[in-house]
Amino acid sequence: MPQSLYFEITLEPHLKHSGLVTGRRIIFLAEVLVSAVKGGSEAPDDDQKVYETAQKLAADLTCMAMTGEYRQPGEDEMRVSIHSTSRMSNDLTERHPDAEKDGVRLWLIGAHPE
The pLDDT value recorded for residue 71 is: 63
Alpha-carbon distance of 95 to 73, in angstroms, equals 31
The pLDDT value recorded for residue 60 is: 84
As beta bridge partners, residue 27 has 10, 110
The structure's pTM equals: 0.79
User: DSSP of 44-61, one letter per residue?
Assistant: TT-HHHHHHHHHHHHHHT
Q: Residue 20 pLDDT more than 70?
A: no
Domain boundaries in the chain?
Answer: 4-113
**Segment 66-86 mean pLDDT:** 72
Alpha-carbon distance of 49 to 54, in angstroms, equals 8
The pLDDT value recorded for residue 19 is: 58
**Regarding predicted confidence, which is higher, 13 or 86?**
86
Alpha-carbon distance of 103 to 113, in angstroms, equals 31
Alpha-carbon distance of 57 to 106, in angstroms, equals 10
Q: Residue 74 pLDDT more than 80?
A: no
